[in-house]
Amino acid sequence: MLLTTMLKLEGKLCGSHADSVLCVSGSRDEAKVASGGENGELTLWDLATQSTIGKCSGIPGENDVNSVLWAKDSSSLLYASSGNVIYQYDTRDLSTPASQLQVNEEEINQIDINAAGNHLASCDDSGQVKIVDLQGQRVLKTLRKHSNICAAVKFSTHNAAHVLTGGYDNYMVLWDYMRLKQLSLQNMQDYKAVQNPNASYMINPPFVHSIATVNAEKINIVANGCENGTIQLFESRNRGIEHLITIQGHTQGVSQVLFMEHPESGQPPFLCSGGNDSTIHLWDVHDICTLEAEKHHMEAKKSRRAKPRVKSHRKTSAPKSADVASHEPLEETEDETKEAVCTASYSQNHGHKVNWMDSIRLGDQTHLLVADETNVITFYKSCVA
């Protein structure tokens, strides 16, 4: 029986932020949530009781808190970016930051921490990305490629040496960051939008707003959300990434993409997207991405087999008719030429433009946290219909 994943409104966290909530992060081992807002607001929440457990009314400088993230190895360490500074907080005392790093030249848009918890990446308005050694509190590498704002950065879940960046120059870059090597440069303008009568798809450029990665059973998937309403899906490999399919359901820019654990054990993760059209879509992309990747692998094998062999100087007998036939182009079946189509398996009218999304476990359930243009955080429970 086909299981349809859906979202059920569970509650809202409110009463702390004065203005829009710009970012949100759920802790790994406790039901704690951190949120950042305008004018330097930073708040800690207990999701189980839906109450505030800590608040910093003004990060030094009182710039907007654009990104917030829990440390990998601690439930009491929190990182928040505001302006061009990264602040580290001990959540038991939010009165003053435990430390701060001013490594970026311009306003930071997102921070991410690798799986080992020792490296932090921060991208900024100048287009640069800084890789920071958290233990040594120093910059390890500076990645320079984007010619415009770098809006998204995400460490790969497939290869510990890789990081992905995306920007307003319409590019997504895969880096071997310790070697300062660009492994793949993907221009979102190369991938056409699905035909839709809405003019926003034709006018808006494909700025990259958000990047998500997941290691599934048979495939490593990268997704990004673009300003033209599309979501681009790629297969991640050790030597690069390859485009698989374009999916489209939003009528305005896709501000957030996120892979979430399936509510049913044994099922592959699903993709969640949030947009400026105030909607949230769920996508079952695992199977179609796996099929597209297998198709690409088969096409690559056919291409290699079709390459002409170097002629030998030795005399050979005339080829048999069967040998001649074996070198003729292979006919493509209808399934091979047909463009893959993926539609959202579930859609939720959130009611407000989505600024940020994250997932968190509460008991045995996975919840979706949504920050939007209001001063409230909404959380949904993922379930099956």
DSSP letters spanning 28-96: SSSSEEEEEEGGG-EEEEETTTTEEEEEES--TT---EEEEEE-TT-SSEEEEEETTEEEEEETTB-SS
Report how many domains make up the chain: 1
227: nearest Cα among 206, 258, 248, 256: 206
Helix (H, G, I), strand (E, B) or coil at 275: strand
Sequence-separated (6 or more) residues with CB below 8 Å from residue 281: 249, 250, 272, 273, 275, 344, 346, 347, 348
Does 324 map to a domain? no
Does 262 map to a domain? yes
Does 84 map to a domain? yes
Does 317 map to a domain? no
Does 329 map to a domain? no
Does 316 map to a domain? no
pLDDT, residue 330, reads: 37
pLDDT, residue 2, reads: 55
Query: The pTM is what?
Result: 0.89
Find the domain containing 45 and state its range. Answer: 5-300+336-384
Residues 382/368, Cβ–Cβ less than 8 Å: yes
How far from the centroid of its chain's Cα atoms is residue 233's Cα? 10
Low-confidence ranges of the chain (pLDDT < 50): 1, 197, 199, 312, 314-337
Does 273 map to a domain? yes
- CA 77, 110, 359, 60 torsion-angle sign: positive
CATH at 85: 2.130.10.10
Helix (H, G, I), strand (E, B) or coil at 263: coil
pLDDT, residue 30, reads: 82
CA–CA distance, 35 with 42 (Å, rounded to integer): 6
Instruction: List, in sequence order, the alpha helices (H) in 317-373.
Output: 321-326, 334-337
Using a 10 angstrom Cβ sphere, with 0-12 exposed, 13-18 middle and 19 or more buried, the burial of residue 207 is buried
pLDDT, residue 341, reads: 77
Strands (E), 168-297: 171-176, 181-187, 208-215, 220-226, 230-237, 240-248, 254-260, 270-275, 279-283
Residues 227/250, Cβ–Cβ less than 8 Å: no
Residues 54/91, Cβ–Cβ less than 8 Å: yes
Does 307 map to a domain? no
